[in-house]
Amino acid sequence: MRSVRPKIVIVGAGFGGLEAAKRLAHQRVDVTVIDRRNHHLFQPLLYQVATAALSPADIAAPIRSILANARNVRVLLDSVCAVIAAEKVVRLQGGAVVEYDWLVVATGARHSYFGRDDWSRHAPGIKTIEDATDVRRRVLLALERAETETDKLRRDALLTFVVVGGGPTGVEMAGAIAELARKSVSRDFRSITPHCSRVILVEAGLALLPAFPKGLQQRTLQSLEQLGVEVHLGAAVTEIAANKVCVGNDQIAAHTIVWAAGVQASPAAEWLGAAADRLGRVKVTPELNVPNHPEIFVIGDTAACGDGHGKALPGIAPVAKQQGRYVADRILGRTRDPFRYRDYGNLATIGRSRAVADFGRIRLSGFAAWLVWCVAHVWFLVGFRSRLSVMLSWAWNYLTFARSARLITGPVQALPAPAAAPLKGAIQ
Amino acid sequence: MRSVRPKIVIVGAGFGGLEAAKRLAHQRVDVTVIDRRNHHLFQPLLYQVATAALSPADIAAPIRSILANARNVRVLLDSVCAVIAAEKVVRLQGGAVVEYDWLVVATGARHSYFGRDDWSRHAPGIKTIEDATDVRRRVLLALERAETETDKLRRDALLTFVVVGGGPTGVEMAGAIAELARKSVSRDFRSITPHCSRVILVEAGLALLPAFPKGLQQRTLQSLEQLGVEVHLGAAVTEIAANKVCVGNDQIAAHTIVWAAGVQASPAAEWLGAAADRLGRVKVTPELNVPNHPEIFVIGDTAACGDGHGKALPGIAPVAKQQGRYVADRILGRTRDPFRYRDYGNLATIGRSRAVADFGRIRLSGFAAWLVWCVAHVWFLVGFRSRLSVMLSWAWNYLTFARSARLITGPVQALPAPAAAPLKGAIQ
């Protein structure tokens, strides 16, 4: 009896994979979810971990716990080495081999430095919990060191924060760093004042938040400037090294650089031997299949899926979730239509009481949009416990201007010393 | 005018140093607090981070924030390289040299492996946030790996947790691991059941919690056994290696080993060229001074201070805090008496609704003691925000039996593979 139940393997428990697993829970199928992390991460709030507003556990929940009640779902902590489509098996790093009748690949994306991987050392991005606590350490340590630094040039570099990329993540990071460096911590330091800090947002394109309408892009720019962020548009980064960023021919001395510019799909296209687009995403059929493999689906940031108007769908959570539900429905035989994305709107936050929201005809900015953003993000957070905790943290941070997770953890010594080679002297 | 104010340097912002700084706040003195971490850590609850009940930020607060309102106190994030008593200066790793009129050394203690430092790789202790998240990773990874392990011997080793040391930390860790491994996670796994796990507490002495009266020691033993912990008394650890612990001539195959057996003072005695006891603690005068240096105080775990009855005071938070207040009062000229410790009682928790409390004539155990323990620990936590968050987490964990911070972060691959050399086969 058991052997006739279809075996479904889902690789990756991000928004897409988890949604597919939830949809397949309690059905007459056997589901195996494989992820190399034990937790599902609510990436849209990761920048708040990086800026000390939330704790990692607030926005991450064990995959096992989320799926605990679904007795037809098992969860494996492991990495995939290979997919052998001819035998319909997935080979795992731990040595196990898992058979499937249906395979759902939802392995997400990682940073892309456009071929300059050496930049990653100096300009980390934020995709994982470790990335976020690393950026948090850098930002907080820069402030600590600036407090005792007596050389003006070094001190200015320590208090200069550059965010590369003007998409939602870049805008959120720039706003949050400005709030942290210029407001939240001003009471605690003796020698640095809020006006010592510079936060610079560099975007190669001509507008922030390219997915938003022009009016809201303009509001975003104004809001960031009100927060004290210097926004450089049409400014391509040409070099990044320890303590400096080159933008065109200008050089900015900055101790802390955050990368929010490019992403690249995980190497699923290689595993599958499938055609990929420029960003490494698998070119899927309108049914989200790998061509000629109706039993293999690719969803989320790993898939290059058209929106029906010749453009690719963006790499955002709602797309991944709808795709996850869609493939589950296809596997269960509930639909035969091609996938269609329903766009319910677009949200981005800039800082305290500042956000933009685009729901087609309705466009909001400022406090109203920020409230919508808060409600939406708490709503979509997995787990009642996390919601309570995040609401508590936000209420606290809002009322007190404090940041509740200002911890410097990890190797303090491992970071590059403040302002290295070019600025010598002053301190023995 | 400013130059005549006494300059006080406090090294270390644990319980002792922080209490001294708070007492000196808003007085006509200039205080410099130096710590190599940016946060004050509430160590008594660190084991709850290690067992996924609390997040690091719940029990750690930036030292700067705690002292933000005291305008006569500055905080430096740095390490001390040397104390030059003849010149009354402290030399910092960052290069700065700080003068003092009064010096308070409160640098705490670290683990001691009794000369077997090679054991630390296999049996980490918990003194810092990183230690705690490391232990958390080990415990949670062991459960994850056990879920997929098909070889019985390997699986048993993965599900065997050994805690070395029967003091308060060891008792708390053993109880908390038993709850985590046997209760909290049982719902989430498919192939391991609560009864698969073994939690073993090994103590070289003949009783648990040596500082407590006999009756409560007995209750502690019973409570641990009710939680399913195997307690081995009079059992000295003779060897620790990857995946095994030797106790006398017996060998226990265990993937996860936690060290809670010995501490050693930080190397302050070397800096000061002062006489130290067996544990590296500076032998101080009854006024907590280094002999012949009335301007240098040593407090907390770094000091060997008699209790007036020929015994040394234990290395616990109340001692450090009272000593911190005492040295501040001496510096301010408020007291000329020698230090006297007032013992308000002793608390230790074992697990959910289980604790022991010794207030001299009043002795509690079970639920009543546990309530007292909860209230006392929330009360002494620094910061209103942390208190709220910890109460919320505890209430949640109590009601749902869940653990809210079950994150595996950091390098998953870096851990030793499950059950290495001795147990081959089964998995390719």
DSSP letter at A323 equals H
CA distance A350 to A121: 26
DSSP letter at A59 equals S
pLDDT at B68 over 70: yes
> Which amino acid does the sequence have at B425?
G
> In the prediction, which pLDDT does B97 show?
94
Chains A and B form CB pairs within 8 A to the count of 136
Q: Chain A interface, mutation test: which of B385, B387, B427, most A Cβ atoms within 10 Å?
A: B385
- B188–A55 CB contact, under 8 Å: no
Q: Chain B interface, mutation test: which of A81, A385, A391, A396, most B Cβ atoms within 10 Å?
A: A385
Average pLDDT over residues B25-32: 96
> Catalytic residue among B19, B149, B172, B203, which?
B172
> In the prediction, which pLDDT does B352 show?
85
Structure tokens at A232: 């450089």
CA distance A40 to B150: 26
**Quick check: B409 contacting A, CB < 8 Å?**
yes
Place of tokens 């109460």: B391
- A405–B94 CB contact, under 8 Å: no
Q: In what order do the strands lie in the sheet with A102-105?
A: A73-77, A30-35, A7-11, A102-105, A293-298, A289-290
CA distance A327 to A341: 13
> In the prediction, which pLDDT does A192 show?
83
Average pLDDT over residues B212-220: 95
What SS3 state is found at B78?
coil
CA distance A54 to B385: 12
Cβ contact A302:A296 at 8 Å: no
> In the prediction, which pLDDT does A310 show?
79
Q: How far B21 CA sits from the closest chain A CA (Å)?
A: 15
**Quick check: B241 contacting A, CB < 8 Å?**
no
Average pLDDT over residues B137-145: 92
Nearest 10 degrees: Cα torsion B7, B8, B13, B19: -120
DSSP letter at A280 equals S
DSSP letter at A414 equals T
DSSP letter at A359 equals E
Cβ contact A153:A420 at 8 Å: no
Q: Given B60, B144, B402, which is nearest A65 (Cβ)?
A: B402
> Catalytic residue among A172, A179, A203, A225, which?
A172
Closest Cα in chain B to A400: B385
> In the prediction, which pLDDT does B416 show?
42
Query: Which residues 115-134 in chain A show a CB within 8 A of chain B?
Result: 129-130, 133
Low pLDDT (below 50) residues in chain A: 1-2, 413-428
Phi and psi of A173, rounded to 5°? -65, -45
Place of tokens 């002792």: B16
> In the prediction, which pLDDT does A3 show?
57
More confident residue, A408 or B206: B206
A-chain residues within 8 Å CB-CB of B77? Answer: 141, 144-145, 147-148, 408
pLDDT at B410 over 80: no
Provide CB contacts within 8 A for A238, sequence distance 6+: A246, A247, A248
Question: Which own/partner pairs from B112-121 qualify as long-range (CB within 8 Å, at least 24 positions apart)?
Answer: B112/B262, B112/B263, B112/B264, B112/B279, B113/B259, B113/B262, B114/B261, B114/B262, B116/B240, B119/B240, B119/B259, B120/B259
pLDDT at B341 over 90: yes
Helix H or strand E segment including A161:
strand A160-164
Tell me how crowded residue B82 is: count the other CB atoms within 10 A of its CB.
14
Cβ contact A317:A347 at 8 Å: no
Closest CA to A67 of A105, A93, A32: A32
> Which amino acid does the sequence have at B124?
P
Tell me how crowded residue B52 is: count the other CB atoms within 10 A of its CB.
28
Residue B405 CA, chain-centre distance (Å), reads 19
> In the prediction, which pLDDT does A384 show?
65
CA distance A129 to A139: 15
- A407–B64 CB contact, under 8 Å: no
CA distance B38 to A52: 13
Helix H or strand E segment including B164:
strand B160-164
Q: Given B64, B130, B404, which is nearest A57 (Cβ)?
A: B404
- What burial class does residue B278 get, using C-beta atoms within 10 Å of its C-beta: 0-12 exposed, 13-18 middle, 19+ buried? exposed
Domains defined for chain A, CATH in brackets? 2-36+78-111+263-331 (3.50.50.60), 117-261+346-400 (3.50.50.100)
Q: What is the DSSP string of B12-58?
A: --SHHHHHHHHHHTTSSSEEEEEESSSEEE-GGGHHHHHTTSS-GGG
- A65–B405 CB contact, under 8 Å: no
**Quick check: A188 contacting B, CB < 8 Å?**
yes
Q: What is the DSSP string of B379-404?
A: HHSSSHHHHHHHHHHHHHHHHH---T
Q: Chain A interface, mutation test: which of B49, B65, B69, most A Cβ atoms within 10 Å?
A: B65
Q: Given B75, B187, B385, which is nearest A404 (Cβ)?
A: B385
> In the prediction, which pLDDT does B412 show?
56
Cβ contact A89:A208 at 8 Å: no
CA distance A183 to A199: 13
Closest CA to A373 of A168, A229, A181, A183: A168
Each residue of B78-107: pLDDT tens digit? 999 999 999 999 999 988 899 999 999 999
Each residue of A342-378: pLDDT tens digit? 999 999 999 888 999 999 889 999 999 999 998 888 8
Each residue of B360-380: pLDDT tens digit? 889 999 999 999 998 888 888
Place of tokens 């409160």: B106
Helix H or strand E segment including A80:
strand A80-84
Query: Can A203 be counted among the known catalytic residues?
Result: no
CA distance B78 to A149: 12
Burial profile A318-329: b = 16 or more Cβ within 10 angstroms, e = fewer = bbbbbbbbbbbb
Closest Cα in chain B to A129: B409
CA distance A75 to A9: 10
**Quick check: B410 contacting A, CB < 8 Å?**
yes
Q: How far A203 CA sits from the closest chain B CA (Å)?
A: 31
Q: How far B397 CA sits from the closest chain A CA (Å)?
A: 10
B-chain residues within 8 Å CB-CB of A148? Answer: 76-78, 94, 96
**Quick check: B391 contacting A, CB < 8 Å?**
no
What SS3 state is found at B130?
helix
Q: Given A64, A147, A409, which is nearest B130 (Cβ)?
A: A409
Place of tokens 């309570």: A388
Each residue of B106-130: pLDDT tens digit? 999 998 998 899 999 999 999 999 9
Tell me how crowded residue A245 is: count the other CB atoms within 10 A of its CB.
23
**Quick check: B286 contacting A, CB < 8 Å?**
no
Q: Chain B interface, mutation test: which of A38, A130, A150, most B Cβ atoms within 10 Å?
A: A38
- Strands of A336-390 (E only): list them: 346-351, 354-359, 362-365
What predicted TM-score, i.e. pTM, was given to this entire model? 0.87
Provide CB contacts within 8 A for A56, sequence distance 6+: A49, A129, A132, A133, B55, B407, B409
For helices A214-226 and A168-179, the axis angle rounded to 10 degrees is 20
pLDDT at B181 over 90: no
Average pLDDT over residues B4-33: 96
> In the prediction, which pLDDT does B423 show?
30
Q: How far A92 CA sits from the closest chain B CA (Å)?
A: 11
